[in-house]
Amino acid sequence: MTVNALSFNILDGVAVVTLDLPGSKVNILNLEVLEELNVLLSDLEEMADALRGAIFISGKGNNFIAGADLSLIEGIDDAVRGAELAAKGQRVFDRLASLPVPTAAAINGSCLGGGLEFALACDYRVVSDSAGTFLGLPETQLGIIPGFGGTQRLPRLVGLAESLRMITTGSPVYAGQAKRIGLVNEVTATEHLLDAAMAAVEGRLSTGKRKRTLGRVVEENMERFRPGRKVIANRARRAVIEKTRSHYPAPLAAIAAVEYGLNHGMEKGLAYEARILGEMAVTEVSKRLIGVFHLRESFARGDKSPAAGIADLSVIGAGAMGGGIAALAAEHGLNVRLVDRSDGALGSAMRFLHHDVATKRRKGRYTDIDAQWIPTRISPDTGMRWIGSADVVIEAVAERMDVKKAVFAEAAAKVSDDTLILTNTSSLSVTRMAEDVPHPERVAGLHFFNPVDRMPLVEVIRGERTSDATVERTAAFARLLGKVPVVVRDRPGFLVNRLLLPYMNEAAVLLEEGADIESVDRALMDFGMPMGVYYLLDQVGLDIASHAGRSMFEGFGDRMTPSPIFQAMIEAGRLGKKAGKGFYLYDRAGNRQPDPTVKNILAPHIKGTRSFTPEEIVHRLIYPMINEAALVLEEDVVNTPEAVDAAMVLGAGFPPFTGGLLRYADSAGAVRVTETLGKLSEEAGHRFSPAGSLVQMAKEGKVFYP
């Protein structure tokens, strides 16, 4: 079936092929598009004698090709069928690579997965300097490997070490970096993209010499010989295993495919790649990771139109969170007034902004123009006298109700009645905060996670008087900033902190019972958490965690009783990474190391000496989060397990390979979870008492995801 995604015209003897999939915001490679491309390549082959080249360009404004149709991968239930599908795509791209005329991919916007593999099959790649242009092979993040030639063509273009980094991490590269590593031939302004592609196919492109560092020269020499390639590949394997604890088979499989192809040639390498793609596509890990991808997309894809007209933002509080929010908004084109009474805080925020912009400029994510203009969008101020024109006000001041209410009162008196007034609170009641604000229906929470620029989740908190329109506008504003919003009710801890606080508090209780800090953190890393719980506490700050814990205790009573360990650490000045010492010691560069002296501080609170097995640690720390999630659903803080899992994966780093906290609970089974919680309740205290809904699920054989 033809979908009419491809069309071409002849311009000065060059075929300009436009990719524009009807009815879709982005171009994707499905079976119909691949077949249509195959037919078009036949036409180009027949016309080759009359052509001087062929250019492939997108008809979408901000996308070249987003990748292969994910439903193709989801539908694979047989490894042989998966290999056949990959081989089909490879054959089409081989024809593209073998066209007897020069070819160029003209790339503006995202070029990912199969899209980059398409571009790799062209002779040249020219890209726009837009901040929205990036290239990558994210397949391993979906539990598979590049299957249309990516593991074979990329290393031959950019080298083994760089290709393994791109493929195993799935991280994108932006225009400037892509030019530096040799992935693209030219970077140009968007309006000159077609001209640059024409120059490429006509042999007029002057790309200059690729910069080669001493390290790159050494790697190139190593890559020439099989023993050297093995050293580089083994180094990549060790890095993957250290990071993933072998929970994700795809990155290791991708390394094997790259290495095999370089050792045995392109033809055998492609066959190996196709076979491994089929094997990875049928794994449970791949199915769960694709589920997480859809989960994220379902929350990120909502309507942005309620945020139309938002151009001016006032951020009150220039600490790490306020400064981060201001920088994010400026990056997305908003005019920002950053308010703080402290000149020092404002100065620190602006220095951080300039450093961040310079770093992104060096990495090629920003053009020179971006780097010049983004800082000018932020106006620092020590007072609120000029915030009257703001469309949105966000406060990010100290986590104290009296301070926040005072800020809200002052801000509300200066802005219009329809200005959104938002709080970045992590634990305080949005309803109480809005009590004295005229038109409290426009007040909501917008809880960012630290670091602001990296964490995709924001919680949109609905107070008791927050209107539906405000919730919709706040969520749309979050999407405008590139974030994934999850709407939650105004309850202590909201959603993520509500689930994390029992986890962190129970870790402190384990110390009271004699647990070893490093052993617990190692067990959690082996389980799949991105960092150990004590390292997490050091990152958050013991004072902040203690404050949040007290708020939870006030809201939920005895089952959230804070461990005395927190106060002992605070009194000893061990506030965490920011103080250079917490459960670990930190040097100036932020590197951590164990600190045996911490036991002396904890000694008065340690009730015994006991070692815990990894399974016991998981039961004590992970199962209470499942229990709390069941209570969250009972209380309608959120109303779907999808909201819980999206928030925990995107905001707390719960292991994506599990599919999310409640997917993990389903795999364990309600019977096992409730029986384990019941046993812990008898042994360690009623804080482990299983939620009524969990008990009912166990009785009826139900799951969170039917």
Which residues are annotated as catalytic? 447
Contact 352, 319 (CB under 8 A): no
Report which secondary-structure segment, H or E, holds 11.
Answer: strand 6-11
Q: How far apart (Å, rounded) are the C-alpha atoms in residues 668 and 679?
A: 16
CA 328 from chain centre, in angstroms, equals 15
Report which secondary-structure segment, H or E, holds 693.
Answer: helix 692-700
Contact 439, 417 (CB under 8 A): yes
Indicate the angle between helix axes 623-634 and 661-668, nearest 10 degrees. Answer: 110
Contact 430, 445 (CB under 8 A): yes
Q: How far apart (Å, rounded) are the C-alpha atoms in residues 412 and 416?
A: 8
Contact 534, 574 (CB under 8 A): no
Structural tokens at position 38: 């195959």
Contact 548, 678 (CB under 8 A): no
* 653 contacts: CB under 8 Å, gap ≥ 6: 529, 530, 531
Residue with tokens 């000694």: 603
Half-sphere exposure of 139 (CA within 13 A, CB side): 35
Structural tokens at position 249: 């088979």
Q: How far apart (Å, rounded) are the C-alpha atoms in residues 7 and 15?
A: 10
First to last CA, the chain: 35
Pick the closest to residue 268 from 258, 277, 278, 282 (CA basis).
Answer: 258
Contact 69, 32 (CB under 8 A): no
Q: Which phi and psi (to 5°) does residue 606 adopt?
A: -85, 125
* 486 contacts: CB under 8 Å, gap ≥ 6: 299, 457, 458, 459, 460, 495, 638, 643, 646, 647
Residue with tokens 């490879």: 90
> Which DSSP letter does residue 171 get?
-
* Four-point Cα dihedral 112, 115, 117, 123, nearest 10: -120
Q: How far apart (Å, rounded) are the C-alpha atoms in residues 454 and 446?
A: 16
Structural tokens at position 691: 């939620």
Residue with tokens 């042994």: 683
Q: How far apart (Å, rounded) are the C-alpha atoms in residues 34 and 6?
A: 10
The helix/strand/coil state of 111 is strand
Helices assigned H by DSSP within 312-381: 320-331, 343-362, 368-376
